[in-house]
Structure 1
Amino acid sequence: MDKRRLGRTDLKVTSIGAGCWPIGGACSNLEMGAGWDGVNPTEALNALEYAFKKGVNVFDTADVYGLGESEKMLGHILKKCIKGGIVKRSDIILSSKVGYFAVDGIYGFDPEYMEQQLKQSLKNLQTDYIDIYFFHHQNFGANDDYLEGALETMKKFQRDGVIRFIGLRGPHKFSVDRRKKVESHNEMDKFMRLVDFIDPDVIGVRYNMISPSYDKNPENNIFSWAEETDRGVVTYKPLGQGLLLKKHDPDSPPKFSKDDHRSRKAWFKSKGLEELNSRLKVIGEHFQCKQTADFVRLALSYCLGRSNHHCTLVGFKTQQQLSDAIQTKITPLTPEEMDYIREIFEDIHSRIGKFIKFAA
């Protein structure tokens, strides 16, 4: 795979990285489903090893994914591949996150708790440093009470050599705020305020054909801003967690346990799938998508064409899912084609309601 410079980090990253959230399995956090059903640990480990062998060099996880299981799986296979001479640790870029793992009475960005979580992540990953360590969300408490301490803790981690670069999640509403129906302020304004204070090396942004268009308007063009400021961008959910592959039947929507985060998402209900699939049918005809691989190609081409300073993370539970992404031939889209796709999905959010719906 081709490699790209991840902004001022000077890290050379493969255009496609391995998103390791799904392999953590089903779990609950913050009184919500936070994981994925249907994970076969053996298949997941085989998929990880396949990614290393195929040259993927970006592996993204978090302390909260599977409540540590994702990190442990990744650490196990990383150690195996290093020992087997398949990779060198210096050639691999490990990304993890802190802030979401809930413990009663302790805020995720409490400095002492952050230190505890990093130590556990290093142990899980069987490494002595993490290349990119993300603030997993942007809620630093009332009046940002935890912000200064959290940033100083991150800088201490850098000085101690246990992390290399600081990451910040892009404009995105905190899950607890969504659940409590907290009023949303201008997410871009909040993000830019935090950027000015934290000065992150890398930002993480959810970006796909149905996500908010962070590149549509000049004032919201994160990709142009990142290039101007020489910051790396890591995008995630390029396939919309499989929704953009037109594989679900609205008449028989998938069923999930309460510990699977998809159980609360309107996209996976009949109405959401109807709206999605009707648009994917139009797009599929326009771009001649006749099979799943064609939709994978289109979705990844949409994401990777935005900037040469970013990579996109493909989530997976099986080797086949990773292979479909790694083996696909990226076809650059013209500005007109990008606009066409945006127009098709323009009103979908208002038609099916909010992206996440919580039970009372």
Structure 2
Amino acid sequence: MTTRSSGAGRRVLAGGLEVNPLGVGCWAIGGPDHNLGLPMGWTTADDDRARAALERAFELGANLFDTADVYGHGHSERLVGSLLRQVPREEVVVSSKVGYLRDEDHPYEPRQMRRHLESTLDNLGVDYLDAYFFHNADFGEKDRYLAGAVEQMRDFQRQGLVRAVGMRGPHRFATERLQVAKAERDDKHARFHRLFEAIRPQLLAVRFNALTPVPAGARVFAFARRHGVSVLVNKPLAQGLLTGKHTAVRPPRYGDGDHRNRKRWFTRDALTVIEAGLAPLRERFGGDRAALVRVALRYCLQQDDNAAVLVGFTCEEHVEQNLTCLGEPLTEDELAFVRAVGARLQHELDSSGEVFLDEVGTERDGAGQ
């Protein structure tokens, strides 16, 4: 493995985690999968290409790798583990999650949490995690598992198995979106606040990109600063939708076990709206994919110095582009331009009747006032 790039420009997040602010999201390499009766994986990854991409990311200076037990039922963790066997453990920050992988017992039952953590550590080939996240807000009926789960997580920290604890920003459990009528759903922001007070995390995982409604996006970063927690931003490219990767001429088709098959923004109607909405960005910053990737990533990276951005990949080409296209920061005028273009596109999607933004990886994730 070649010599790494300089660590200049790294950020120190809550929990003392020193990271390259552009991290590597490892959901896609988990492969096709089903969980909770839903397709929840990706069918566009190849293991050999994923391993090569992980190695290249490390060579280029990435040191934050984020995965979860549910990504391919441990397959993503095992692929990340193949990298960790080749590099010094102290040079990487490894994050994983618990809560979405379901079997007979609830995943937040303390004994189940320990079993899942042991499996994750075994998959990764490490003896501790730098960050461990509660992956969702479902703590059972009337939050019956919440207190025990929080105490179990603290016990992991006391034992040195976990350095920092994280949780999701305001969101809905996957099955709630499908099975619970909108009028009957709990207020996800109020619920987030209740859980935050109980968990007291050091890190928040938040969906954010140029399509995120502006007030909500600003609030979540302000909330994090106010409470001394750091943010891990995911879906900065809106799963490729902000880069022009998908077109209405040839709508993407995915195999069995790919979560995108159930999401409306990958349909022809939604892609038509998105293509037209990206035109101003192409005109100002350039029409090739690298230019749009740069703008999308810079927009997220420059939101807050107390945050890191996780960008997904399936191959070495993605990693090369993501980690080498950043160039100079966007100016304030350019940031405002991207914000305005994203807001217009978000409004068009929201009013089209075909796309619901709670499903676009841009859910209204503001953490309240």
Q: Same fold (TM over 0.5)?
A: yes
1:215 positional shift: 4.4
SS at match of 1:67: coil
Question: Aligned AA for 2:54?
Answer: L
2:294 pairs with 1:297: yes
Deviations 1:139-178 (A, max 9, x none): 1122111111110110111111111110001111110111
**Relative to structure 1, is the Cα distance of residues 114 and 212 closer, same or farther in structure 2, using a 3 angstrom cutoff?**
farther
1:185 positional shift: 2.9
1:11 positional shift: 1.6
2:256 pairs with 1:258: yes
Unaligned runs of 5+ in 2: 1-7, 361-369
Q: Retained in 1: the 8 A contact 2:97–2:134?
A: yes
Question: Aligned AA for 2:220?
Answer: I
1:255 positional shift: 0.5
Aligned pairs for 1:152-301 (under 5 A) are 152-182=151-181, 183-213=184-214, 215=216, 221-285=219-283, 287-301=284-298
Counterpart of 2:311?
314
The 2-side partners of 1:172 and 1:97 are apart by: 15
Counterpart of 2:96?
96
Q: Percent identity?
A: 36
Deviations 1:54-92 (A, max 9, x none): 221100000010110100010111112x2xxxxx21121
User: Which shows bigger deviation, 206-215 or 59-68?
Assistant: 206-215
Counterpart of 1:85?
none
2:91 pairs with 1:54: no
Question: Aligned AA for 1:198?
Answer: I
Aligned pairs for 1:57-76 (under 5 A) are 57-76=63-82
The 1-side partners of 2:36 and 2:198 are apart by: 27
1:234 positional shift: 0.2
Question: Aligned AA for 1:5?
Answer: V
Unaligned runs of 5+ in 1: 83-87
Runs (4+) of structure 1 exceeding 6 A deviation are none
Counterpart of 2:10?
3
1:345 positional shift: 2.2
Q: Retained in 2: the 8 A contact 1:302–1:333?
A: no
Q: Retained in 2: the 8 A contact 1:45–1:73?
A: yes
The 1-side partners of 2:215 and 2:158 are apart by: 33
The 2-side partners of 1:212 and 1:145 are apart by: 33
1:339 positional shift: 3.8
Question: Aligned AA for 2:97?
Answer: K
SS at match of 1:131: strand
The TM-score normalised by the length of structure 1 is 0.92
Q: Kindly tell me the number of residue pairs found equivalent between the two proteins.
A: 345
The TM-score normalised by the length of structure 2 is 0.89
Deviations 1:269-307 (A, max 9, x none): 00110111110113322x232210100011011111110
**Relative to structure 1, is the Cα distance of residues 164 and 214 closer, same or farther in structure 2, using a 3 angstrom cutoff?**
farther
The 2-side partners of 1:71 and 1:96 are apart by: 8
**Relative to structure 1, is the Cα distance of residues 187 and 330 closer, same or farther in structure 2, using a 3 angstrom cutoff?**
farther
1:206 positional shift: 0.6
The 2-side partners of 1:118 and 1:216 are apart by: 31
**Relative to structure 1, is the Cα distance of residues 180 and 345 closer, same or farther in structure 2, using a 3 angstrom cutoff?**
same
**Relative to structure 1, is the Cα distance of residues 159 and 166 closer, same or farther in structure 2, using a 3 angstrom cutoff?**
same
Q: Retained in 2: the 8 A contact 1:133–1:167?
A: yes
User: Which shows bigger deviation, 336-345 or 68-77?
Assistant: 336-345
Cα RMSD, aligned residues only:
1.7
1:106 positional shift: 1.5
Q: Retained in 2: the 8 A contact 1:15–1:310?
A: yes
The 2-side partners of 1:63 and 1:223 are apart by: 27
The 2-side partners of 1:189 and 1:284 are apart by: 38
Question: Aligned AA for 1:121?
Answer: T
Question: Aligned AA for 1:90?
Answer: E
**Relative to structure 1, is the Cα distance of residues 245 and 336 closer, same or farther in structure 2, using a 3 angstrom cutoff?**
closer
Counterpart selection for 1:40 from 42, 46, 50: 46
SS at match of 2:232: strand
2:355 pairs with 1:353: yes
**Relative to structure 1, is the Cα distance of residues 353 and 215 closer, same or farther in structure 2, using a 3 angstrom cutoff?**
closer
1:349 positional shift: 2.4
1:341 positional shift: 2.8
Counterpart of 1:133?
132
Question: Aligned AA for 1:278?
Answer: A
Question: Aligned AA for 1:167?
Answer: G
Deviations 1:25-77 (A, max 9, x none): 11111111111012111110000011111221100000010110100010111
Counterpart of 2:34?
28
**Relative to structure 1, is the Cα distance of residues 22 and 10 closer, same or farther in structure 2, using a 3 angstrom cutoff?**
same
